[in-house]
Amino acid sequence: MDIKEYIDRDPALREVSQMKETVWINPRLLSVDRTAADLQKVVSDGDIADAEARLGRFAPFIALRFPETRADGGLIESPLEDIPLMQKALEETCGCRIPGRLMMKMDSHLAIAGSVKARGGIYEVLKHAEDLAVAAGKLDVNESYTRLAGPDMREFFGQYTMQVGSTGNLGMSIGIMSAALGFKVKVHMSADAKRWKKDLLRSKGVEVIEYDDDYSRAVAEGRKNSDLDPRSYFVDDEKSVDLFLGYAVAAGRLKGQLEEKGIKVDADHPLIVYIPAGVGGAPGGVSYGLKRIFGDDVHCFFTEPVRCPSVLLGVATQLFEKANVHDFGISGKTEADGLACASPSGFVTRMMTNLLSGEFTVDDWRLYDYLRLLDKTEGKRVEPSSCAAFIGPCSLLEAEASGKYCSIHGLSEKRLADSTQIVWMTGGLLVPEKIWEEYLSRHLSQS
Ligand SMILES: *Cc1c(COP(=O)(O)O)cnc(C)c1O
């Protein structure tokens, strides 16, 4: 591949290839009206509603098996919270202006898996379990799913294996829910995956297979291993539509939370969302759902480490899954372990091509500064990958490219002052105390 050619076409990619913090604005962004008909053929509103209904059917089972979800009736959902102290502290430490109401969506604290993967990952496991049980005549979609906790059903699921490749958190969501249903589980972990995540999974009876290589390799090996076994199902983060649907359900839930708080979203009250991206599935699914509901009034930005901006490259070059950070001379090695995917999802980069507003890339050292600042100001702890989101609101008005985006898209001073900006926190709940101590004291040099 001739990188120079891509850089000539899109000069922002030069900075990206030099691993500099960059704001990339998507030149292919279109008004939702112009893309909806085509995209609806791939993922329809009905598909998202169907996923939501399926999660509803499983809620009694989840409430039974995971008592921490009982207060929400077995629905796995996270709070949406104002972070005014963090907003002020960011403005002071970064010397930036953050207009509007800054909020955090705390998927970092989702029950069961402690990360955004509790949406997509768990959904795909449940979907597969339902498909198997219904096909075998062991479950009727109209009966109570608490029956799935019975020993006969565990034995039934025990004949099947679930497999997944993961940098850590996806493996945790698939592993924990699969094990709860009685499936055998194999999680193929990349070298980036943290020790404590592997230990936690093993403690739940999950088989963890470690690779001394990156995420793409762990996925490829997992897929190959699974294909050899007709009773094995592979959760394929690089192409899965079911994962995407599980994430997309978040949008309707967020709409309810915004309404509950009396927060308007319309042309005069825009919604701006910043979500950290790894392979693209989580931010893609959530953003797609948001675009379906809020249309052009929501602006979806992804954030990625300067050392692993694979989704940015996939969309910007239109190479999709063939884009690889190494081809651009980028290391792919980042402290944001949840975002260390050298190549993006082909499915998501295609779906988001005309919906993504742009991307902000962030230096690793900032992640720990954000982590400490959020802990200090709001008393909330989120893992380094989550912290990548904060580069968005800090840069929106400061960088030339995003400033221009605002003026082109009608984000005037007045409208920004009336906007809601959401940083989507993606992981943190299950991080052990000892690891927090490490994170909170970690200072990287600003190279
Ligand atoms: C997985 C993950 C993401 C990004 O999700 P992708 O589907 O890989 O894009 C972000 N943050 C954390 C903490 C994650 O675990």
Could you report the per-residue pLDDT of 410-434, keeping only the tens digit for each?
999 999 999 999 999 999 999 999 9
User: Ligand 1 centre and the CA of 125: distance in Å?
Assistant: 17
Ligand 1: which of 110, 117, 341, 359 to mutate, most ligand atoms within 8 Å of CB? 117
Which 3 state secondary structure label does DSSP give 414? helix
Distance CA(130)–CA(95), nearest Å, equals 51
User: Ligand 1 centre and the CA of 240: distance in Å?
Assistant: 14
User: Ligand 1 centre and the CA of 410: distance in Å?
Assistant: 30
Name the residue at shortest CA distance from atom 11 of ligand 1: 426
Task: Give the model confidence (pLDDT) of 288-335 as tens digits.
Answer: 999 999 999 999 999 999 999 999 999 999 999 999 999 999 999 999
**CB 287 near ligand 1, within 6 Å:** no
Task: Give the model confidence (pLDDT) of 109-166 as tens digits.
Answer: 999 999 999 999 999 999 999 999 999 999 999 999 999 999 999 999 999 999 999 8
What kind of architecture, by CATH, is found in domain 115-239? 3-Layer(aba) Sandwich (3.40)
CATH number attached to the domain at 3-45+62-113+242-441: 3.40.50.1100
**CB 115 near ligand 1, within 6 Å:** yes
Domain boundaries, the chain: 3-45+62-113+242-441, 115-239
Distance CA(446)–CA(105), nearest Å, equals 28
Which 3 state secondary structure label does DSSP give 145? helix
Q: How confident is the model at residue 167 (pLDDT cuts 50, 70, 90)?
A: confident
CA distances from 42 to 39, 119, 160, 223, 371 (A): 5, 20, 29, 23, 37
| Beta pairing partners, 276 | 303
Q: pLDDT value at position 190?
A: 86
What DSSP character marks residue 79? -
**CB 279 near ligand 1, within 6 Å:** yes
**CB 270 near ligand 1, within 6 Å:** no
Q: pLDDT value at position 328?
A: 95
**CB 278 near ligand 1, within 6 Å:** yes
Q: pLDDT value at position 1?
A: 62
| Beta pairing partners, 304 | 361
Please indicate whether the domains covering 3-45+62-113+242-441 and 115-239 agree at the CATH topology level.
Answer: yes
Buried residues in 185-209 as b, exposed as e (16+ CB within 10 A): bbbbbbbbbbeebbebbeeeebebe
**CB 385 near ligand 1, within 6 Å:** yes
